Chain A
């Protein structure tokens, strides 16, 4: 049943049609004596309607009162608080800078802002959360749940398009079983950190009913705390219906050199790669030992199950059999070869690049070295890349990947060493390396890069713009203290140089980062 029209609605209906079309019944007018006078003196129906409307309108507006909610109380949305957290709110200046970055200024430094905030144990004040949840990609913000704080999950739960990774203090089985995919992966990762076996049991308990996307994502978390105990489970996952799951399982198994998977791979390699015995005698010792390489003749079903691909990708110019060999070598920890042939890493790498399959072996060994990183091997491979016939950008990229794979404590040193080596080639080679290395530089690397740059600027009479545009990247990765001490001097000396603008931009970025640090400590 329709509710009867209010007097305002009746008036609006007449006005919508127009008084020439709709008659104006007396009872429609607001029936108050005070209006009777008005009705008498003005005889046009338009004036009457308007007078009634304004009186009704004022009456309604003045009389409007919100009703108190009775009965069921509206649900209070209590914010869960984590007790005992030793974090504090980020300052308004720091948050304001974050918002500026989200708005487009120096956006590439967003990740660094979050890293600095995490290191300083700062939590974003809640009123800035919507800006971050709207403006920062989930992939980035989900890596920093501590910075978003406990309120972020609470807030995101109210908004249809927001999600955040939870801060997992103590992994909870309930959240593992009932959470969203992102939450479940976070719970699993946290459990693997604490107790890998329990984590695997969790995974096994839901595996049969988890959708393929979830299975693939969870196997990624299994790399945390990976051990031989995980092997039976991973071995079974090699028979999964989804290719991504099989690949993720093979990736885990490849990182377990004692696994049956690894042993099967070594058996397949068998005698395909053999090194000449070291000869005694003075002359023979000076001659390098040779590596003899044979290509596999077939790829059986078991090999395909273990994750080997039969066909090379369309864009690669490599024979099928060489491609099989390459994949097999990729799975072997490089140290294996040194132990097997009784040689050091440089000897083996040199022998490998002296074969007919130099290019495939160099790629495969490099990939294996990123899986099983080790400074000696990585150093030898970098040298091999430098001597290879590849183009500079390809070499720089390969070297950067190798350095990147090293454990943190060895990285900076190796990066600086490779920078020096490439700079002997030329400035652009070094530049290419720095473009491919997406990690912060040490003070030493920064000082060296700036010195090299200074020489290049001094000797530059060309007008290329390419390398100059790359300096922004330097600004984002260099060591802030070193760069802010050096750049003003370089700027003063580069007054009339074509590099001046590029240097100024470089300096702007460094100053921005310095300010960011000041605000987040």
Chain B
């Protein structure tokens, strides 16, 4: 990343509190030996200890190291140093020894890794027989897990959903735990979700029946994988909990395009944070979803900035439709400018062309008919007008068709105020019943659905 703005630094911060302390640390008076060159950035910050903290940042590859003991990464010193740079307060210079040493070590490690990879997968690949054995063992476990699940589902339907709902959450969590033991984490998650719905949803009868029926169908489909089209078979395996080997995927030929970063969002589940980044290809006109994970206090990477574009080769995971992808190669900057016809100097890319409600629903129908387990799928919807029906927000297109906005969406009023009577285009996900916006465009401006502490805000992408 070459162009650091306050906003991209904010995206890098582990939480709002870290950003806040970084802001008060980002004062040139607290720093000595500040400097930067075309790749590195460094400085020393006087902290509470005797020695100043030494901070080094590779601002192109987004790597950093600070001598402070913070477990929250990036630490406030790193963020503050980036803020100072974004502010233009860091002069060009020659890296001091502690920076050179770090950069040198990093380069050595990268080289060693490349060599390992160049030496081929054969040596890295463990014994293929052992691998086959492991897979066979897992298949057996999953098989018996599925049998238990099938019996369990039949029993629930036999007893009645109302009776099972009355038995509390243990029913669901025990089954989920058994599925984890059976190495079918995808199924375990679905069962746990159903348990949550059973307690929380107002429409629990419908949701439980639909969920259980789709689970049962998944079990049956897994038993007939060979008869399914390859994409759908892969989809079924993924939903059961098989993961695709990313190293293997990387060997495939990818799809090279200019990819716009259209949205980004993070979720936190216990100790695991997941970052969803949606890309859209200029020439291929397709979406790609990049998933990144971080455990505990680990930072999530900040390699994609909403509103920017990258020239990259992506490899798509097998699935129906193919959506999840990984980045195989990224071409070096400069990245392509925003679409032609837009004002000069506007660094933000706009959303791809939107569709109306009927088109979105027809496309979704096609996707569901190919994959009955499809939940949500990305669309660019618009132009639409947000309208309030009581407290519920819905989006109306030019023909008067409307879709409700997801109930968990907390930015109703922000969106309504942003539109102020004008139509919007938005990128989001449609799940067959409700739309959840992630990025919103009003005339030329792009806004991200964001949080500032507890506040729901729309943040303009600059």
Contact = CB atoms under 8 A, between A and B. Distances in A.
Same complex: yes
Interface in A147-170: 151, 154-155, 158-159
Contact of B6 (A58, A79, A93): A93
Contacts of A104: 453
A154 B420 contact: yes
Contacts, number: 170
Contact of B455 (A13, A19, A131): A131
Interface in B446-462: 447, 452-460, 462
Given A51-B216, A66-B358, A74-B387, 16 more contacts: A15-B212, A16-B162, A18-B159, A57-B213, A61-B368, A64-B361, A66-B361, A68-B399, A96-B457, A103-B454, A103-B455, A127-B414, A127-B447, A131-B455, A491-B29, A511-B24
A76 B455 CA distance: 28
Contacts of B454: 103
Nearest to A150: B420
A471 to B, nearest CB: 15
A92 interface: yes
B206 A12 contact: yes
A103 B453 contact: yes
Given A62-B365, A99-B455, A103-B453, A15 B421 contact: no
A508 B455 contact: no
B421 A62 contact: no
Given A99-B457, A103-B454, A159 B400 contact: no
Contacts of A131: 414, 455-457
B462 A127 contact: no
Interface residues of A, number: 67
Given A15-B157, A53-B209, A79 B357 contact: no
Contacts of A79: 420-421
B290 interface: no
Interface in A76-131: 76-79, 92-93, 96, 99-100, 102-105, 125-131
A67 B401 contact: yes
A18 B205 contact: no
Interface of A: 8, 11-13, 15-22, 44-47, 49-51, 53-54, 57-58, 61-70, 73-74, 76-79, 92-93, 96, 99-100, 102-105, 125-131, 134-135, 151, 154-155, 158-159, 488, 491, 507-508, 511
Contacts of A20: 158-160
Interface in B404-436: 413-418, 420-421, 432-433
B392 to A, nearest CB: 13
Contacts of A45: 158
A99 B451 CA distance: 10
A130 B413 contact: yes
Contacts of B399: 68
A46 B208 CA distance: 14
Interface in B117-172: 153-154, 157-163
Those 4 A-B pairs whose CB atoms lie nearest each other, nearest first: A18-B160, A130-B413, A127-B418, A69-B400
Contact of B462 (A47, A92, A105, A130): A92
B450 to A, nearest CB: 10
B213 A65 contact: no
Contact of A62 (B210, B368, B401): B368
Contact of B402 (A69, A76, A155): A69
Nearest to B207: A12
A93 B20 CA distance: 14
B216 A47 contact: yes
B106 interface: no
A78 B205 contact: no
A104 B163 CA distance: 47
Contacts of B216: 47, 50-51, 54
A159 B212 CA distance: 40
Given A8-B206, A103-B452, A15 B160 contact: yes
A126 B420 contact: yes
- What is the interface residue range for chain B against chain A? 35 or more
Interface of B: 6, 16, 20, 24, 27, 29, 153-154, 157-163, 205-206, 208-210, 212-214, 216-217, 357-358, 361, 364-365, 368-369, 372, 387-388, 396, 399-403, 413-418, 420-421, 432-433, 447, 452-460, 462
Contacts of B214: 54, 57
A15 B212 CA distance: 10
Contact of B210 (A21, A53, A96, A508): A53
B interface, by DSSP: helix, strand, loop or mixed?
helix
Contacts of A154: 420
Nearest to A492: B29
A418 B104 CA distance: 62
Given A12-B209, A68-B400, A127-B414, A151 B420 contact: yes
Nearest to A508: B24
A88 B157 CA distance: 62
A134 B420 CA distance: 18
A32 to B, nearest CB: 15
B205 A12 contact: yes
B390 to A, nearest CB: 10
Nearest to A159: B413
B417 A129 contact: yes
A127 B27 CA distance: 30
Contacts of B154: 44, 46-47
A127 B458 contact: yes
Contact of A66 (B401, B421, B447, B460): B401
Contacts of B417: 126-130, 151, 155
25 contacts: A15-B208, A16-B160, A16-B205, A17-B162, A18-B160, A20-B158, A45-B158, A46-B157, A50-B217, A53-B209, A54-B372, A62-B364, A66-B361, A68-B400, A74-B387, A74-B396, A99-B452, A127-B457, A128-B457, A130-B413, A130-B414, A135-B455, A155-B420, A159-B413, A507-B27
A145 to B, nearest CB: 16
Contacts of A74: 387, 396, 400
A269 B250 CA distance: 98
A92 B460 contact: yes
A318 B462 CA distance: 65
Most buried by A among B27, B210, B417: B417
A415 to B, nearest CB: 29
Contacts of B452: 96, 99-100, 103
A35 to B, nearest CB: 13
A54 B20 contact: no
A169 B209 CA distance: 60
A218 B62 CA distance: 61
Given A18-B157, A92-B462, A58 B416 contact: no
A50 B210 CA distance: 9
A77 B159 CA distance: 51
Nearest to B27: A511
Given A18-B158, A62-B368, A151-B417, A50 B212 contact: yes
A51 B219 CA distance: 12
A11 B209 contact: yes
A99 to B, nearest CB: 5
